[in-house]
Amino acid sequence: MVVLGHSSPARWAAPEGPWTEPDLHLFPQDGHRYEIVDGSLHVTPPLAEEHETVVRALVTALRAAAPEGWWVCTRLGIELGTSKLIPDVTVLRPRSSGASWADPADVALVIEVETDTSRRYDRLLKPDVYAEAGIDGYWRVEPLPEPELHVYELGPDGYQPAQTIRGAGPVKVDAPFPVRISPDAWL
């Protein structure tokens, strides 16, 4: 960090080479999400309350259905080689390592809840990185105008659409464990 004079605000300096996990500790806890993709920094602005409401509803449903030993976490970072991503929700298999940055081998499912500022990132880049790491399941939520859950399963060429869920009635999803999902109840 470079400080210019006593009255000037602190300014962040980029590293000489690629961004790494220790560089993420330089940033303030200001509500932004700081992630690294192949050594490049990606910043998402603070999230709206509607987004957080959907995340809480998903976590509640998954935790209620999770068999003993499974972990459902919010904003747990995943170490993916030169990428460090932070999904909205992560489901860890039993006997996971418990590291502060999860190993992809421990991750059964990642969930991203789209916002206007994350739509392309959540639809294009993040699923590709998660699939390359071998994470079995990816869920993407479109919260507005009506909540929709898009369930993807890992195939030989990346994630393949498996199911789209919308509406008030509970719909069963089998992976990573059986859970009933009702998107209209999220908002």
- How far apart, in Å, do the first and last CA atoms of the chain sit? 41
pTM of the model: 0.90
**Helices and strands: H and E segment counts in the chain:** 4, 15
- Write the CB contacts of 128 (distance below 8 Å, at least 6 apart in sequence): 158
Convert the pLDDT of each residue in 165-185 to its tens digit.
998 889 999 999 999 999 998
Report angle CA 23, 25, 30 to the nearest 5 degrees.
120
Task: Tell me the domain boundaries of the chain.
Answer: 49-75+85-185
86/66 Cα distance (integer angstroms): 21
Report angle CA 44, 50, 51 to the nearest 5 degrees.
40
- The CA dihedral of 85, 91, 96, 101, to the nearest 10 degrees, is 20
Convert the pLDDT of each residue in 10-66 to its tens digit.
566 788 899 999 998 888 889 899 999 999 999 999 989 999 999 999 999 999 999
Convert the pLDDT of each residue in 143-170 to its tens digit.
888 899 999 999 999 999 999 999 888 9
Q: Beta-carbon neighbour count of residue 156 at 10 Å?
A: 5
Q: Over range 121-145, report the average pLDDT.
A: 95
Domain 49-75+85-185 top-level CATH class: alpha beta
